[in-house]
């Protein structure tokens, strides 16, 4: 099957700073992939490249076999690190906004998730707590029928009780034809829902592979391995 994402020898420099060095990786359909790395390792840079928000200095990125452009943007549902939603909007306005903007947005699915998390559609975003805003944004992003979901720190501000629901939502939502990339520091929380992981360190891929294979081979959890590989 054609990979959902294929990154070949990609480098990115900001001035003299080499944020990514010769990164190559493939993500197959139907996978949840953890993109893990310490601060400044290049996770957000890689995510912005995949979303076409930055241009690579070198190398090639293909989404479902196509070079980045308008078509690939339609296939990607992106949760950025920081919110980009208008604070003065009500949750129900955002549902309308997403329906208008994205053909693949499933408003009923979004409504169901909001109801489960007891988020009132009549609330203005600016009146919601930071964690609740994050939940709203994640619900919007996961309610699209995208090929690739790219989530930059999706559960950072969410309380532990809601994390399981959010993570379950992520894995329930994607299909055989789509994949999810989750960039996070909360490795313990996500390692059980990930099929594969990628360790980024100083802009280079340090390790990538299947979670179960790596755990078996190394005899430790991904969280423990991360602490060992990136010990300060
Ligand atoms: N606009 C920029 N100009 C110059 N350097 C940058 C810029 N953006 C990022 N960098 C540098 O590139 C490197 C990678 O940064 P990036 O934000 O991709 O890391 P990250 O893994 O997402 O970090 P964190 O986990 O802290 O969010 C860092 O050294 C950072 O200082």
Q: Is 52 in the pocket of ligand 1 (CB under 6 A)?
A: no
- Using CB atoms within 10 Å of the CB of residue 184, give its burial: 0 to 12 exposed, 13 to 18 middle, 19+ buried: buried
Q: Is 72 in the pocket of ligand 1 (CB under 6 A)?
A: no
Q: What is the pLDDT of residue 127?
A: 94
CB 68 within 8 A of CB 77: no
Give distance in angstroms: CA of 19 to centre of ligand 1.
7
pLDDT digits (tens, 9 = 90+) for 81-116: 877 788 899 999 999 999 999 999 999 999 999 999
For residues 158 and 52, the model is more confident at 52
Closest Cα to atom 5 of ligand 1:
14
CA-wise closest residue to 93 among 127, 135, 134, 125: 125
Q: What is the pLDDT of residue 36?
A: 96
Residue 175 has pLDDT above 80, yes or no: no
Q: Is 126 in the pocket of ligand 1 (CB under 6 A)?
A: no
Closest Cα to atom 30 of ligand 1:
40
Q: Is 53 in the pocket of ligand 1 (CB under 6 A)?
A: no
Give distance in angstroms: CA of 20 to centre of ligand 1.
10
Q: Is 135 in the pocket of ligand 1 (CB under 6 A)?
A: no
pLDDT digits (tens, 9 = 90+) for 15-40: 999 999 999 999 999 999 999 999 99
Give distance in angstroms: CA of 33 to centre of ligand 1.
20
pLDDT digits (tens, 9 = 90+) for 112-147: 999 998 999 999 999 998 889 888 999 999 999 999
pTM of the model: 0.93
Top mutation candidate among 19, 38, 153, 154 for ligand 1, by most atoms within 8 Å of CB: 19
Q: Is 44 in the pocket of ligand 1 (CB under 6 A)?
A: yes
Task: Please give the C-alpha separations between residue 78 and each of 15, 134, 143, 197, in angstroms, as whole numbers.
Answer: 26, 13, 11, 19
CB 44 within 8 A of CB 200: no
Q: What is the mean pLDDT of the chain?
A: 92
Question: To the nearest whole percent, how much of the chain has pLDDT over 70?
Answer: 100
Q: Can you tell me the distance from the alpha carbon of 56 to that of 168, in angstroms, rounded to the nearest whole number? A: 33
* Confidence category of residue 1, pLDDT binned at 50, 70, 90: confident
């Amino acid at each position: 099957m054609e990979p959902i994402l294929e990154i070949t020898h990609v480098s990115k420099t900001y001035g003299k700073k080499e944020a990514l060095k010769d990164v190559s990786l493939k993500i197959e359909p139907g996978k949840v992939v953890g993109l893990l790395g310490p601060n400044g390792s290049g996770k957000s840079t890689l995510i912005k490249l995949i979303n076409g928000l930055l241009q690579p200095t070198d190398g090639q990125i293909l989404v479902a076999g196509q070079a980045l452009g308008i078509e690939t943007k339609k296939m990607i549902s992106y949760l950025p690190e920081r919110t980009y939603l208008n604070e003065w909007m009500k949750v129900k306005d955002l549902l309308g906004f997403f329906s208008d903007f994205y053909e693949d947005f499933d408003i009923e699915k979004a409504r169901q998730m909001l109801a489960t998390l007891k988020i009132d559609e009549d609330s203005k975003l600016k009146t919601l707590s930071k964690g609740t805003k994050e939940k709203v944004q994640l619900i919007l992003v996961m309610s699209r029928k995208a090929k690739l979901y790219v989530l930059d720190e999706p559960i950072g501000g969410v309380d532990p009780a809601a994390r399981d629901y959010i993570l379950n939502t992520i894995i329930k939502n994607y299909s055989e034809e789509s994949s999810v990339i989750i960039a996070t520091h909360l490795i313990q929380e996500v390692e059980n829902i990930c099929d594969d992981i990628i360790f980024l360190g100083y802009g280079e891929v340090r390790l990538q592979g299947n979670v179960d294979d790596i755990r078996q081979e190394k005899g430790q959890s991904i969280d423990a391995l991360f602490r060992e590989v990136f010990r300060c």
